[in-house]
Structure 1
Amino acid sequence: MLIGLVLILVVWIGAGWAMVAVAGPFKPSGVFIDIGGGRKMRLVCAGPPAGPTPTVWMEPGAFGLAADFAAIQQKLTAKGIRSCAYDRAGMGWSDPGPKPRDAAAIADDLAKLIAASGEKGPFILMGHSMAGLYVRLYAGRHPEQVAGLVLIEATTPEQIDNPNTQKFIGAFTSLSKVAAVSASVGTTLPLYWTAGDRIGLPPQGSAEKRHAYVSGRHARTAAEEVGNWERSAREAAAAPPYDPDWPVSVIVVDRGEGDRPGDARRAPERAAKHGTFEAVKGASHTTILGMTYGDSAVRGVEFVLAHLKSPGA
């Protein structure tokens, strides 16, 4: 029985390696920026050169990387808007970073990357999912770098004490550990084509997402970030709140719940002098970033830009 299971596992993993091999050689997009100490991070910028319109700087969610925003970057480029997305340390093609992989470490790396990249702020910060915590801490530490915010299905530090949030974090942490082990031993490889891109990305972004999905290093780092969720939330909560003068767009999936007055995800939008909210019908937590539903993010950026230019903004 045991020998049979081992043989099945070997065949499964072997089939996965064959699938990845058939995909052929692969080169990720973007450039590699030395942020100091010999560490390099991958940065993918798109659109026209930086000008009077703020660049959109993108922070992916749990298990995410620059590729998560490939569809939105394509859509923003078509509008003449510059954007930059990156792989956090140890994720995708970026070198590992110091531990623990919490919001503080991620904000430190981001500050170094922006400085080394030569990209000029202030930026419109865009964060998806767990990146809401990282965006909050970075904005609190570097308010001079912020023009406005687009928060997509974004977690807020105010959610951390909610019992439902605590329950979700516990389950997600356990699942993340399983995913890290699975990717590390190669059992995710046969899912390269079917599960690697659940966003709906253009070809290059989709290929990058699939490669990250079967990467043990990527999954282990992601699991560590998830394991530090509560620590990151506490760090973000201790940071200064968003400046109410910053225009804020909050975008979520329409789950048929209606307008929930106590929804902490809407707190940044409700506290802003210029805020907007959109619930996207038909989208999921992942597809909201893709080619089908990513226009909602573009609308969010356009809202922020319009209110930057409005009198008194």
Structure 2
Amino acid sequence: MAWTFIGLAAAGLAGSAAQRAAAQRDERRFPAPGRMVEAGGFRMHLEVRGEHLGGPTIVLEAGLGSFSPNWHWVQQALADRLRVVAYDRAGLGWSDPSPAPRDAATMAAELHTALHAADIEGPYVLAGHSFGGLVVRAFAELYRPETAGLVLVDASHPDQWARWPVPSADRIQLISLRISAAAARVGLFRIVDAFGAVSAGLPERQVAELNARFALPSTSDVEAAEMRAWEPITRPFLHRASALGDLPLAVIGVGVQPMGAQTLDALQEELPGLSMNSARRVIADATHESLIADREHASRVAEAILAVVDAAGGESVETAWTARETHPAIR
């Protein structure tokens, strides 16, 4: 028993040392591709592509634990006609950690601070993938005059965990994130590919950038903090939020759901009701991850964003989206 314990302790120490060395190597291999901007006591990473030619600026909000490289194809598809900002929430990617709670409203306020510090003024069309959908909805509530439209990309619903068919699924998720953080501390994710689905389809550089940061224990720690704030803070905030009125809103869902399909589809069907000027599409062969990581699926997301930009000029989202689908310019 004693020798077993000693062996495990030695393996853990060796793994931790290897993890620290790998993290230092990744810092040199993958410097921040964008700008580091003051966001109120910490620095936030913003990757800005394209010129501001007079239309809304596009802001891309990644899912739980993910960050800017995940949006590569979408950003590339839009940057020849619009200014597009992909960024990293505090503690993720290249952004510094923030001491504030990780609820959607706080993170939306941090984003707003960073955008203005970078002299990137609104109006903004914000696209949120997965958990990022909660953050862009909070942004629209806090900064409605600066919000020109929203795109919810297989976005999370505030009631997802309350209505999930497995009891206490959010607590199970939190436990798994604590285990992930412990595994990352001893370098397990350097030898086990646990995140391939998130980046499958992206260019090699972006895959490597994502994997380097996913392997850090701090990434799982931030994910857990975002999860902890979901039920007690984020969900009530969004339930209290004002109606979107006729704010342009595009909702994109997926046809391939490996688990919880009935619940997730029902939640997605509710999202267009947030606005009187909305439209919804389902990409039949897309998964939750491929919707932005696969180039063809990402082009459909970019198309939806352009439709919302068009609708911000006075069209209905349905009319604008149908026109974009009929005459695709970016596929």
Instruction: Return the offset for 1:33.
Output: 0.4
Matched, 1:190 2:191: yes
Matched, 1:223 2:224: yes
Q: Which moved more, 1:140-149 or 1:163-172?
A: 163-172
Instruction: Return the offset for 1:72.
Output: 1.1
Instruction: Return the offset for 1:178.
Output: 1.3
- Ranges in structure 1 where 5+ consecutive residues have no aligned partner: none
Q: Which stretches of structure 1, 4 residues or longer, exceed 4 Å deviation after superposition?
A: 3-24, 256-262
Matched, 1:288 2:291: yes
Matched, 1:272 2:275: yes
| CA distance in structure 1 between the partners assigned to 2:262 and 2:115 by the alignment | 36
Instruction: Return the offset for 1:67.
Output: 1.6
Instruction: Return the offset for 1:266.
Output: 3.2
Tell me the amino acid that sits aligned with residue 304 of structure 2: G
Matched, 1:71 2:48: no
Any residues of structure 2 matched to 1:1-313 within 5 Å, and which?
Answer: 2=4, 5=8, 25-37=29-41, 39-47=42-50, 49-78=51-80, 80-159=81-160, 161-164=162-165, 167-191=168-192, 195=196, 198-231=199-232, 232-241=234-243, 243-255=244-256, 263-290=266-293, 291-310=295-314
Q: Deviations over 1:259-310 (max 9, x none)?
A: 9998232333234333221212232211111124211211211221232234
Normalising by structure 2, what TM-score? 0.81
Q: Which moved more, 1:54-63 or 1:277-286?
A: 277-286
Tell me the amino acid that sits aligned with residue 62 of structure 2: P
Instruction: Return the offset for 1:143.
Output: 0.2
Distance 1:105 1:28, change over 3 A: same
| CA distance in structure 1 between the partners assigned to 2:68 and 2:223 by the alignment | 14
CA RMSD of aligned residues (A): 3.1
Normalising by structure 1, what TM-score? 0.86
SS in 2 for 1:188: helix
Distance 1:23 1:282, change over 3 A: farther
- Ranges in structure 2 where 5+ consecutive residues have no aligned partner: 318-331
- Identity, in percent, stands at 26
Instruction: Return the offset for 1:201.
Output: 1.8
Contact 2:58–2:84 (Cα < 8 Å) also in 1: yes
Q: Which moved more, 1:181-190 or 1:27-36?
A: 181-190
Contact 2:161–2:170 (Cα < 8 Å) also in 1: no
| CA distance in structure 2 between the partners assigned to 1:275 and 1:89 by the alignment | 30
Instruction: Return the offset for 1:36.
Output: 3.1
Contact 1:16–1:192 (Cα < 8 Å) also in 2: no
Contact 1:192–1:214 (Cα < 8 Å) also in 2: no
Instruction: Return the offset for 1:12.
Output: 6.5
| CA distance in structure 1 between the partners assigned to 2:16 and 2:284 by the alignment | 38
| CA distance in structure 2 between the partners assigned to 1:261 and 1:226 by the alignment | 18
| CA distance in structure 2 between the partners assigned to 1:176 and 1:312 by the alignment | 41
| CA distance in structure 2 between the partners assigned to 1:312 and 1:251 by the alignment | 16
Contact 1:158–1:237 (Cα < 8 Å) also in 2: no
